Amino acid sequence: MPGLQKNPFKQQWWHFGTYSYIQLRSDADPLKVAAKINGFLNTYLEGMNAENKIELDIQPFGEQYLHSEFESGKPSGGRIEYIRIFSVVGTFILLIACINFMNLATARSVKRCKESRNS
């Protein structure tokens, strides 16, 4: 355990510098597993005061990329914010393109109408 001797803070229960991954059985209930994890953790953190209460939650592996920021243990943002911003920008550009197409189509129809009157 040379890594633990170099970094004694890793032996403390409140050190959260690394991520932990668990794989649940297909029939496991994630809420019950999270409750069991917190129950296990609370047995080792009984001496802490209520202000510094630590609770762990589990998150599906597929959601970690887009929902990677948390406030009070709940996902509050992350890369999903970029998706939302670019979706709004893309919708705005599509709206401008539609308006531009309608203007060009109207201008061409007026030009064709004038050409058909002259012939």
Report the pLDDT value the prediction gives residue 20, as an integer from 0 to 100.
Answer: 78
Q: How confident is the model at residue 3 (pLDDT cuts 50, 70, 90)?
A: low
For the segment 14-61, what is each residue's pLDDT rounded down to a tens digit? 666 667 788 999 999 988 998 888 888 777 777 665 666 677 778 888
Instruction: Give alpha helix (H) positions in the chain.
Output: 2-6, 30-44, 80-118
**pTM of the full structure:** 0.52
Looking up tokens 């959601």 gives 63
Which residues lie below 8 Å from residue 15, measured CB to CB, with a gap of 6+? 9
Summarize pLDDT for 65-83 with one digit per residue, the tens. 777 776 666 667 778 888 8
Listed as own residue / partner, the contacts of 107-112 with beta carbons closer than 8 Å and 24 or more positions apart are none
Return the number of other C-beta atoms located less than 10 Å from residue 42's C-beta.
13
